[in-house]
Amino acid sequence: MAAFDRILSGLPGLDKALDNIRLGDNVVWRVSSVDDFRFFVEPYVRQALADKRNLIYIRFASHDELVPEQEGVTRYTLDPSEGFEPFTVAVHNIVEQEGFDAFYVFDCLSDLQVVWAADLMMGNFFRVTCPFLFQLDTVAFFPLIRGRHSFDAVARIRDTTQLLLDAYSDGETRYVQPLKVWNRFSSTMFLPHRFEPDGTLIPLTDGVGIGRFYALHDEEEERAADQNLDSWERFFSLARLQHDQGVLDDEGYRNMCRYMMTRDERMGALIGKHFRAQDYFRVRGRMIGTGTIGGKACGMLLARRLVRAAMPELGDTLEPHDSYYIGSDVFYTYIVANDCWDLRVRQKTEPGYFTLAAELKEKLLSGSFPPKIREQFRAMLEYFGQSPIIARSSSLLEDSFGNAFAGKYESVFCVNSGTPEERLEQFEQAVRTVYASTMDPSALEYRRRRGLDTKDEQMAILVQRVSGTNYNGKFFMPGAAGVGYSHSAYRWRPDMDPSAGMLRIVMGLGTRAVDRTEGDYPRLVSLDRPDTTTHTTMAQKHRFSQHCIDVLDFTSNSLVTRKLEELLPDLPDWYKYIVLEHDYEAESRLRERGAWREVCFATCQHLLAKKEFPRLMHRIMEILQAEYGVPVDIEFTVNCDKDGDFSVNLLQCRPLTSRNGSRTVTVPQLPPERTLFALHDATMGQSTELTFDYVVQVDPKGYYNYPYVQKPAVARAVGAVNRAFNETDATLMLLAPGRIGTSSPELGVPVVFADIANFSVICEVSDSSAGYMPELSYGSHMFQDLVEADIFYAAVFESEKTKLYQPGLLADCPDIFAELCPDAPEDLRGLVRVYDVRGRHLTLWSEMMTGQTVCGEKPE
Please report how the helices 420-436 and 357-364 are oriented relative to each other, as an axis angle in degrees rounded to 10.
160
CA–CA distance, 508 with 531 (Å, rounded to integer): 19
Q: How would DSSP label each residue in 582-607?
A: E-HHHHHHHHHTT-----EEE--HHH
Decide if 477 contacts 469 (C-beta within 8 A): yes
Among residues 46, 40, 53, 32, which one has the least CA distance to residue 13? 40
CA–CA distance, 783 with 779 (Å, rounded to integer): 6
**Strand ranges inside 107-239, DSSP E:** 139-145, 163-169, 174-181, 193-195, 201-203
Q: Strand, coil or helix: what is 92?
A: helix
| Residue 546 pLDDT | 87
How do residues 430-457 score in pLDDT, each as one tens digit?
999 999 999 998 888 888 877 887 777 7
Contacts (Cβ under 8 Å, ≥6 apart) of 378: 420, 424
Among residues 263, 268, 390, 266, which one has the least CA distance to residue 652? 390
Mean pLDDT by 10 residues, the chain (860 residues): 83 94 96 95 97 97 95 96 92 96 97 90 94 96 93 91 94 93 91 91 90 86 75 89 93 93 91 95 95 94 96 91 95 94 92 94 96 95 95 85 71 94 96 95 83 83 96 96 85 73 92 70 85 71 84 95 93 94 78 78 89 94 94 94 92 75 80 92 83 94 89 92 90 89 80 86 82 55 64 85 91 93 90 94 88 88
Query: Which uninterrupted H or E stretch holds 157?
Result: helix 151-160
CA–CA distance, 450 with 789 (Å, rounded to integer): 9
Query: Which uninterrupted H or E stretch holds 355?
Result: helix 352-355
| Residue 779 pLDDT | 44
Q: How would DSSP label each residue in 181-216?
A: ETT---TTTTS-EEE-TTS-EEE--SHHHHHHHHHH
| Residue 657 pLDDT | 63
CA–CA distance, 123 with 116 (Å, rounded to integer): 11
CA–CA distance, 78 with 407 (Å, rounded to integer): 33
**Strand ranges inside 92-186, DSSP E:** 102-106, 139-145, 163-169, 174-181
Backbone angles phi, psi at 538, to 5 degrees: -60, -35
CA–CA distance, 808 with 429 (Å, rounded to integer): 51
| Residue 246 pLDDT | 93
Decide if 441 contacts 598 (C-beta within 8 A): no
Residues facing residue 59 across a β-bridge: 77
CA–CA distance, 814 with 817 (Å, rounded to integer): 9
Q: Strand, coil or helix: what is 643?
A: coil
- Cα-atom radius of gyration of the chain, to the nearest Å? 32
The HSE-up count of residue 268 (CA atoms within 13 Å, CB side) is 16
pTM of the model: 0.82
CA–CA distance, 56 with 43 (Å, rounded to integer): 15
CA–CA distance, 441 with 355 (Å, rounded to integer): 10
Contacts (Cβ under 8 Å, ≥6 apart) of 185: none
Contacts (Cβ under 8 Å, ≥6 apart) of 737: 698, 699, 700, 703, 704, 748, 749, 764, 765, 766, 767, 770, 772
| Residue 681 pLDDT | 82
Q: What is the DSSP letter of 69?
A: S
Residue 226, phi-psi category: left (phi > 0), alpha (psi -120 to 50), beta (remainder)? beta
CA–CA distance, 553 with 561 (Å, rounded to integer): 9
Backbone angles phi, psi at 142, to 5 degrees: -130, 130
CA–CA distance, 778 with 716 (Å, rounded to integer): 24
Among residues 493, 521, 497, 488, which one has the least CA distance to residue 507? 521
Strand 324-326, strand 632-640: pairing? unpaired
Among residues 781, 6, 549, 628, which one has the least CA distance to residue 310? 628
Decide if 378 contacts 288 (C-beta within 8 A): no
| Residue 448 pLDDT | 84
Q: How would DSSP label each residue in 471-488?
A: ETTTEEE-SEEEEEESS-
